[in-house]
Amino acid sequence: MSALDTRDIALIALFAALTAALAIVPPLTIPLAGVPVTAQSMGPMLAGAILGARRGALSMLLVVGLVAAGLPILSGGRGGLAVFAGPTVGFLLGWIAAAYVTGLLHELGWRRLTLAWSIAFTAAGGIVTLYGLGIPVLALQAGLTFKAAALGSALFLPGDLLKVVLTAMAAMTVRRAYPVIRPRGVAAGA
C-alpha cells in the first residue's frame, strides 16, 4: 500500500468536510410517510465514486473519527460517543464500507464507465452495502425484527435512489473534467 501524498490528504479532508456540510441541507420529508431524508448519506457515495476506494473510505473514517471526537457534524447537529450507542450506528460505520465498495467498483469499471454503470456501482455501495450493514445493527440496537428494521429502512429508498443518480451524474462530470480516481489495472499516467 502506497503512502498518502499531500493531494490525497487534501482530497480526503475535502470529502470529509463535504459530508459534514451535507448535514446542513434541510431534510426533505417523504409525503405520506413523514420520513425525513437527509443529504448527508450522499457523502460516502460521492467520496467513493469520485475519490476511489481507499481515499473514499479514509474520508469517511475521518468523518466517523470527528463524530467520535464530539464534533456535531451529523444531521441534526449530532456528534459524540453517544451516537455510537444509538440504533443508526450501523449506518454511520457503514459509510466507510459504502465509500470503499462504491470506489472499488468505479476503479474496476473505469474503462467502461458510463452513467448507467456509475449508477449501478453507486447503488451497490451506497444502498446495498450500507443497508446490508445498517439494517442488522438497527434491528439489534432497537430491539426490532430484521424484517421490521428492513421495512422501516425501505422508506428511505426513494431518497437514496435520487442520491445515487445525482452522485453518478457528479462522478461522470468529474471523470470527464478532472479525473481523480486511480483506476485499477491501468498504469499510472496511462
Q: Whole-prediction pTM value?
A: 0.92
- For the chain, helix (H) and strand (E) counts, in that order, are 8, 2
For residues 139-144, give the mean pLDDT. Answer: 96
Q: Which residue has the cell 461522470?
A: 172
Tens of pLDDT, residues 109-131: 998 999 999 999 999 999 999 99
For residues 153-163, give the mean pLDDT. Answer: 93
The three cell numbers locating residue 46: 460521492
pLDDT of 36 above 80? no
- Counting Cα atoms < 13 Å in the Cβ hemisphere of 80 gives 5
pLDDT at 189: 43
For residues 115 and 174, is the Cβ–Cβ distance under 8 A?
no
Structurally, what CATH architecture does the domain formed by 6-177 represent? Orthogonal Bundle (1.10)
Q: Minimal CA–CA distance to 80: which of 98, 92, 94, 95?
A: 92
9-18, 35-44, 77-86, 119-128: which range is least confident on average? 35-44
pLDDT of 188 above 50? no
Instruction: Give the Cα separation of 95 and 161 in Å (integer).
Output: 16
CA distances from 82 to 72, 85, 86 (A): 11, 5, 7
Residue-range domain boundaries for the chain: 6-177
What does the H/E/C string look like for 104-162?
HHHHHCHHHCCHHHHHHHHHHHHHHHHHHHHHHHHHHHHCCCHHHHHHHHHCCHHHHHH
